[in-house]
A and B are shown apart, each in its own frame.
Chain A
Amino acid sequence: MAETGRLSLPSARPLRLPVHPVTALRIGIIVAVLVIWELVSASGWLYRDVVPSLGAIGKALYATLSDPSFYFHLYTTFYEIGIAMVIGGVSGLAVGILLGGSKFMSRAYEAYLYYLGPCPKIIFFPIMIMWFGVGPGSKVAMGAISCFFPVALNVAGGMREIDKVLIRVGRSFRANTWQMVTKIYLPAMRHPVINGMRLGLGVALIGTLLAETKLSNRGIGFLVIQAYSIFNMPQMYALLIILFVIAIGANTVIGRVGGLDSIKRT
């Protein structure tokens, strides 16, 4: 009996993969997608060049990243988004504090922000062109408008959730409004503020880049629409890959830096 038991032990041991099953499945999915992509590209089922080969995309990615003019366009887009974040973020923060700090203001005006927030902002672009011209100004304005709403709404919501004890502590120390904002409100609601900024950055990026694709002569959005106009599909894929890496990277970095990933998801 003992012998049998000893002999059967190795066969009862579960099959061990050299990698974790989740990692194996992930690798499997990625490889399958790449193989299907390459097959579709080689088969010519779709219009020629609509699905370029992975090699062509890789070459276009390398060519784009090693082209100095690309960095001029990247700088332009970053510059526009940066200014838009400052304008939209600061005004959103101020309006959010105003709305979150006063029940009356919130009941009087927050509904307008709440319902305007999800509206498609790009439709304001013709107005922004008239107000700020066809240059970077109108793109900055588009980014700022897009960024303003999530920041304002998140900050207003965050203000209302501040522990009342902290506010009473501030008042009992006779803190003035500025001290209340910098010493109590902002530190206590850093997570909603950072989350608002993260959402704001995402939509500012979309607003600015869409505006660039509509009417501009510089920026990554312009490069994308130019690649479309001259039917340079590998370059379009390369630019989209770069854009997604930047967007997802920025999103993750803000989340990590702001400690959002440490908050338990509810």
Chain B
Amino acid sequence: MSDATVAAGKAFARSRYGPALIGLGSFVAFIVLVELLIRVGLINRFIVPMPSDIIAAFPRVIEEEQVLHRFVLTATEALSATILVTVLGVSGGVLLHRYLLLRQATETWVAAIAAAPLVLMYPLYLVIFGRSALTIVMMGFTAGLAPVILKTLEGLSGTRRVLINVGKSFNLTPSQQFWKILFPAALPTIFVGLRLGLIFSLINIVGIEFLINFGGLGQLINELAERYDLPGTYAAICFVILVSVCVFVLMERLERWLRPVD
């Protein structure tokens, strides 16, 4: 290889889109390699279907398995859980901020709940709420609540002293102080909490749909797997990952858009 080619390669690796293109290229190369290994028989095609079959299964799965309807169902469950999380989580955070004693007594509990494997309670929820969308929504709500409470509290407590003093100097009532000063100042942090809460809810909702074989996108994977439709199962998993990634990117953009410039 000539020096010029090496230099050009290095420049490409350092360029803005070079590494991303190489990353994408190696991903595609890996897929092609898997396809070849399956075709020559080194990988059992009854365990790993050919990537070309998976790609071909996409239109079939989308059409026959009513993916759009399932997507709407999962999105509705996530939206319901998010509304519950937002209302109760933000109120909980405000309550803990308002009453210092309550905060001192329970903040570590809320933090422990945030770190606890709450999703393992799903058999209990199945008994309480039945095998229904309510179980899924309540599980999503339970998973997303603690981070929203903690982030709301963090946002309200982190309000700059000077802003609070400005409010006091204008003789604002406690209600005005909250709505004009504290809440707007805490909003960016609250939104970080809501993003975390939505992600936790969404993960749990799709997971529970899969585990209890009920509802939208999670159930799709379970059904296809139980039918031993391998390309369909892989295609459905890829689809769910794509949807999740799109939601994460969207939420991140939204958060950046809402966050004031530092």
Contact = CB atoms under 8 A, between A and B. Distances in A.
Nearest to A118: B199
Interface in B202-232: 202-204, 206-207, 210-211, 218, 221-222, 225, 230
A233 interface: yes
Interface string B230-241: 100110010011
19 contacts: A25-B101, A29-B106, A50-B128, A104-B14, A108-B19, A115-B244, A115-B245, A120-B204, A120-B207, A120-B218, A123-B207, A205-B117, A206-B120, A213-B122, A225-B123, A228-B127, A236-B123, A240-B120, A243-B120
Nearest to A103: B19
A248 interface: yes
B207 A210 contact: yes
Contacts of B22: 104, 108
A50 B124 CA distance: 8
A126 B241 CA distance: 15
B33 interface: no
Contacts, number: 130
Nearest to B247: A118
A125 B240 CA distance: 14
B121 to A, nearest CB: 6
Interface string A109-140: 10110011011101111110111000000000
Given A29-B105, A228-B123, A120 B233 contact: no
B117 A202 contact: yes
B116 to A, nearest CB: 6
A236 B127 CA distance: 11
B222 A126 contact: yes
Contacts of A119: 203, 240-241, 244-245
- Chain B contact residues, majority secondary structure: helix
Nearest to B245: A115
Q: How large is the interface on B (under 10, 10 to 19, 20 to 34, 35 or more residues)?
A: 35 or more
B116 A231 contact: no
B23 A108 contact: yes
Interface string A1-34: 0000000000000000000011001100100000
B42 to A, nearest CB: 15
A46 B130 CA distance: 13
B249 interface: yes
Given A127-B237, A224-B120, 18 more contacts: A29-B105, A46-B128, A104-B22, A108-B20, A111-B23, A120-B240, A123-B237, A124-B237, A125-B210, A202-B115, A206-B117, A209-B117, A224-B123, A225-B123, A228-B124, A236-B123, A236-B124, A240-B120
